[in-house]
């Protein structure tokens, strides 16, 4: 059985390998039942190991459901008294739709105006990744990311914008290929039009490819 690659910035509660294998076996058993209900040939060499592979995938992409897996947040005193907007944009994320258990994916843009504390920039991406690794809806994910930053930093304001494609729209139902859904969540000074406009204008500037 392949081990899941662990994120070094995610707190992992002590969990025995046996407990992991038990969860994997339970999930695999249910996947087998689904495949049987679809009259699939479980002896097919391409399908024979699918239940285990799906189980391992679920344990990986839903890893933040476990208690104690919040990212370690490095918060610094704002000794430079920086009071302008800090923006991290184009953060890629991948999640699973809570309604259909199919992927939705896209990019996140996060901006905040610090007061006494600032956060390591890489941790903002970690926070987005943490909330994406669970059955999600895009609206809730935006609110969770913004609430996390509001709680840990007490900034003057914070805003999160998510842009995503949803396979539940593209593969089934209306089959609207390429459609993007945009959601945002706002706290503090970002409720002011001029502050919100500054953030949104930053998102329109030309991308730098490094």
CATH number of the domain where residue 32 is located: 1.10.286.10
Q: Is 104 in the same domain as 189? A: yes
> Does residue 210 lie in a domain region?
no
> Does residue 5 lie in a domain region?
no
> Does residue 3 lie in a domain region?
no
Q: Is 199 in the same domain as 164? A: yes
Q: Is 21 in the same domain as 119? A: no
Q: Is 80 in the same domain as 53? A: no
Q: Is 81 in the same domain as 55? A: no
Please give the chain's pLDDT, 210 residues, in tens.
344 344 545 444 445 678 889 999 999 999 999 999 999 999 999 999 999 999 999 999 999 998 888 888 889 999 999 999 999 999 999 999 999 999 999 999 999 999 999 999 999 999 999 999 999 999 999 999 999 999 999 999 999 999 999 999 999 888 889 999 999 999 999 999 999 999 999 998 866 665
Comparing CA positions, the residue from 102, 160, 99, 95 lying closest to residue 130 is 95
Question: For the chain, how many structural domains are there in total?
Answer: 2
Domain CATH code at residue 92: 3.30.1130.10
Q: Is 164 in the same domain as 85? A: yes
Q: Is 57 in the same domain as 93? A: no
The pTM assigned to this predicted structure is 0.88
Domain that holds residue 34: 17-61
Q: Is 95 in the same domain as 43? A: no
């Amino acid at each position: 059985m392949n081990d899941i690659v662990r994120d070094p910035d995610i707190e992992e509660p002590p969990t025995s390998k046996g407990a992991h294998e038990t969860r994997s076996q339970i999930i695999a058993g249910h996947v087998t039942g689904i495949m049987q209900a679809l009259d699939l040939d479980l002896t097919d060499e391409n399908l024979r190991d699918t239940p285990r592979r799906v189980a391992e995938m679920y344990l990986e992409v839903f890893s933040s459901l476990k208690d104690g897996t919040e990212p370690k947040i490095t918060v610094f005193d704002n000794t430079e008294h920086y009071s302008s907007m800090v923006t991290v944009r184009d953060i890629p994320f991948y999640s699973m739709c809570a309604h259909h258990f199919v992927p939705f994916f896209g990019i996140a843009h996060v901006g905040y105006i610090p007061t006494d504390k600032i956060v390591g920039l890489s941790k903002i991406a970690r926070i987005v990744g943490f909330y994406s690794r669970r059955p999600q809806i895009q609206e809730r994910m935006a609110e969770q990311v913004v609430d996390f930053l509001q709680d840990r930093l007490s900034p003057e304001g914070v805003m999160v914008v998510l842009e995503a494609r949803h396979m539940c729209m593209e593969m089934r139902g209306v089959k609207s290929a390429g459609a993007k859904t945009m959601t945002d969540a706002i706290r503090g000074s970002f409720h002011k039009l001029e502050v919100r406009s500054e953030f949104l204008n930053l998102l329109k500037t030309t991308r730098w490819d490094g």
